[in-house]
Structure 1
Amino acid sequence: MSAPIYSMAFIAGRVLLPFACGYFMSYLFRSVNAVIAPNLQRDLGIGAGDLGTLTAAYFVAFAAFQLPLGILLDRFGPRRVQAALLLSAALGAVVFAVGSGLSHLIIGRAMIGLGVAGGLMSAMKAIALWLPKERWALANGVFMTAGGLGALAATLPVELALEHAHWTMLFWGLAVLTVCASLTIFFVVPERPRAASQMPGLGAQLRECGRFLADRRFWRIAPVSMMGMASGMAIQGLWAGPYLRDVGGLDRAAAAKLLFLLAAALTAGFTLTGIAADRLQKRGIPLSRTMVWGVSLYAIVLAVMASGWTPTNPLLWIAFGIISNTTVLAYPILSGQFTLEQAGRVNTLLNGVVFGFTFFAQAGMGWLIDLWPRGADGSYPAEAYRWTFGLALVLLLLALGWYLRGERAAQALTAGRPTE
């Protein structure tokens, strides 16, 4: 008996939209510290190094759970896994709200990271289950718009909320919203029937994950995805706010407005990347080439930011938002080289590597900035950001060069030519 065919309206309303609620919360949690950073520094008495470590605790737990997440997604399906995980994020928000010191907040932030670890990967698994392969890039791009909306909610709306309530009350509200997202996924998303005989045992899955990590196809694309996404998330999720205040000389309200513009561009960028990749594929241009173009443009934007030239120019932040996540195309590129049953694990392995490095990117930026002395008003000099963002640019260019070298070698091997 063949599987029933579902309409796009059904898939969008009953599958993609509920998962989008979870991804919305994931990005909101990821980005909120960019706005509440001054509050945290004031209440906790911490500098850039501690602030970076606190915020990046999210990425440690997020990355550490990616391997078991992939196994769980492939064995139990995205609906049940994501609904359960979001409850951990809600509990983490409560711990963050009631925490009395830096260590308590780090624990809460890590619990949040664990709880939203499946925000994107569960949706990608659902997309792989419900949609044909040629629609994955478009669906991924449109779905990720929900993340951009979460980033939007973490800017001006949060700044306005802080005018009327303490940041701890904000996290109580986020806990309630996260529970609602969990219940929506559990009760609205249907199960996609799967043949149990196609799923290998747990031991076989773990051994297969080891083979993925040893596969040259994985490490051909992982570095550029790591450097591109990690630097983008580290800046958008935290350091854009301090950069605008310290280098751009903006007050909190003006900085929040530019952060809102950045998040709006990020939202548009997710959708535009998916649409552009989908249309270019139809014209015979592969996803890999589209990704390379996007990373090259992102490198130019990062160079301008590192130089400190026009740091408050809205066009700079619009460009950053639109193209900083172009390397998200690495996921459909990589998963398309493996079977459908392997898609959850290979994507979560890549996600684990990316987010594990993002911890070092976000915390490391804080450690580097902290090498320069703070001014009387608590700000850091422009030179600190110049060196920090400049290092991110160099690493991105090296990773892009590695990817291009691997692509040329793969093409030569396919054509039967010896590699240089």
Structure 2
Amino acid sequence: MAVIVFLAFAFAYFLSALLRAVTATLAPTLSQEFTLHASDLGLLAGGYFLGFSATQLPLGAWLDRHGPQKVLLGFLGVAVAGCLVFSMATGFSGLLAGRVLCGAGVSACLMAPLTGYRRWFDPTAQMRANSWMLMTGSLGMVASTLPVQWALPLVGWRPLFWGLAVLIGVAMVGIALWVPRWHAAQPAPGAAVPPAPGGYGVVWRHPYFQRMAPLGFFVYGGMVAMQTLWAGPWMQQVAGYSALESAVGLFWINVSMLCTFWTWGMLNPWLLRRGLGADRLILAGLPLSLLILLAIIIAGPAAGGAAWALFCVSCTFVSLSQPAVGMAFPQALAGRALSAFNLVIFAGVFVVQWGIGLAVDAFAAAGLSTTESFRAAMGVFLACNTGAYLWFARAQRHNVLQTSVP
């Protein structure tokens, strides 16, 4: 039964990741058809994450109160509407509205299962399920690259979104049939459990949450921003790739991420048994991503798809932060803790995606070439990631991960 529940959730998350990343593949087509600038493209891609972020706070409270099944079904209905609006757009505003609705509609596709896993699974299984959900997301991102590129000449981008609307409807049927309904958490026999606070104040003030937040915003959010948008324009405008070569590069970036998350899922139980938890792994592993990003900036046109694949893979240490944050809170607060952290992550994705577009345009307006504008924008991004890592490393001396209470 657990496998069937996982697959029902995973199919919905696969589709949400496909929707998230498809902008990178469609960027040349949409830019030509609607005459989009870099800042427009960044805002369009970021619109998904704007809608996604806007729902996170009410989402967490609804998940704690109503459970994953009921909440996810309601949200996926909005995603269907978003696909249809995007497919019928006649201008930039229509595209942006469709992306915002899509982002809002799929915003529960990871938080709903993680909230359920927090109650249904032990800590080791939670870490594994989280990694394998992210692996499923990477599979969706793989599907958004070469398969979409091949489909475009045959069906066009508008019918592609009609098909996605139908597939989301199929996912809703699976969730309605197979995901258990939510029941109020029961205390252990003889135990007195105080009621959980109704708001988010206890989450925002938690020292572990505050320690992880900058990493979630800049490093995790930035990884998603590169994977779902800016790796593609870099390959085309800096490294000189064609649209098809860029799609191939994105394909292999996402295949690399898929394999990496599968590996994390296999290794996490072994690592936890040996005392290698999220904090130690993040502290030791993330400097590699900073060095690779620095190398990409220095290499410029010589840095193509393989370099961006290495960067995204090296950032996956930060993915361990998500289940760690969930386990730092009691079950009754898990939905709010996870959704609040997800809000931080996807607010970061929106800011980084749009911010890099604004920075590229600004540096170009100042007289820099396209290549130098991209390198300068990525230099700002590197500085932000470095600051977030230093905050995390410094806070380790003061904050200790608090083990959750059932």
Alignment TM-score, normalising by the size of structure 2: 0.92
Question: Which residue of 294, 297, 308 corresponds with 1:306?
Answer: 297
Question: 1:172 Cα deviation (Å)?
Answer: 1.1
- Confirm or deny that 1:385 pairs with 2:337: no
User: Structure 2: where are the runs of 5+ without partners?
Assistant: 188-192
**Does the aligned pair in 1 maintain the 2:124–2:268 contact within 8 Å?**
no
**CA distances 1:198-234 after superposition (whole Å, capped 9, x unpaired):** 7958xx412xx12211222211111112111111111
- Confirm or deny that 1:77 pairs with 2:93: no
1:399 corresponding residue in structure 2: 388
Question: Which residue of 59, 64, 67 corresponds with 2:57?
Answer: 67
**Does the aligned pair in 2 maintain the 1:269–1:321 contact within 8 Å?**
no
**CA distances 1:81-101 after superposition (whole Å, capped 9, x unpaired):** 112211111110100000111
Measure, in 1, the Cα distance between the counterparts of 2:312 and 2:174: 29
**Does the aligned pair in 2 maintain the 1:299–1:397 contact within 8 Å?**
yes
Q: What is the identity, as a one-letter code, of the residue corresponding to 1:401?
A: L
Measure, in 1, the Cα distance between the counterparts of 2:95 and 2:186: 41
- Confirm or deny that 1:189 pairs with 2:179: yes
2:258 corresponding residue in structure 1: 267
Measure, in 1, the Cα distance between the counterparts of 2:261 and 2:401: 32
Measure, in 1, the Cα distance between the counterparts of 2:147 and 2:398: 48
**Does the aligned pair in 2 maintain the 1:56–1:363 contact within 8 Å?**
yes
Q: Relative to 1, partners in 2 of residues 1:140 and 1:316: Cα closer, same or farther, differing over 3 Å? A: same
- Confirm or deny that 1:43 pairs with 2:39: no
**CA distances 1:13-58 after superposition (whole Å, capped 9, x unpaired):** 2x11100011111111110010110111111111000111111011
**Does the aligned pair in 1 maintain the 2:240–2:301 contact within 8 Å?**
no
Measure, in 2, the Cα distance between the counterparts of 1:294 and 1:89: 35
Question: 1:412 Cα deviation (Å)?
Answer: 12
* Count of aligned pairs between the two proteins: 395
CA-based RMSD of the aligned residues comes to 2.2
Question: Which residue of 256, 273, 280 corresponds with 1:289?
Answer: 280
Q: What is the identity, as a one-letter code, of the residue corresponding to 2:231?
A: A
**Does the aligned pair in 2 maintain the 1:94–1:108 contact within 8 Å?**
yes
Secondary structure at the counterpart of residue 107 of structure 2:
coil
- Confirm or deny that 1:113 pairs with 2:103: yes
1:124 corresponding residue in structure 2: 114
Question: Which residue of 10, 13, 34 corresponds with 1:23?
Answer: 13
Alignment TM-score, normalising by the size of structure 1: 0.89
**Does the aligned pair in 2 maintain the 1:33–1:55 contact within 8 Å?**
yes
**CA distances 1:287-345 after superposition (whole Å, capped 9, x unpaired):** 11112233222112211222235645554233234233321211222222211111111
Q: Alignment identity in percent?
A: 32
1:416 corresponding residue in structure 2: none
1:418 corresponding residue in structure 2: none
Moved more, 262-271 or 155-164: 262-271
User: Structure 1: where are the runs of 5+ without partners?
Assistant: 1-9, 414-420
Secondary structure at the counterpart of residue 144 of structure 1:
helix
Question: 1:191 Cα deviation (Å)?
Answer: 2.4
Measure, in 2, the Cα distance between the counterparts of 1:298 and 1:254: 24
- Confirm or deny that 1:11 pairs with 2:5: no
Q: What is the identity, as a one-letter code, of the residue corresponding to 1:325?
A: T
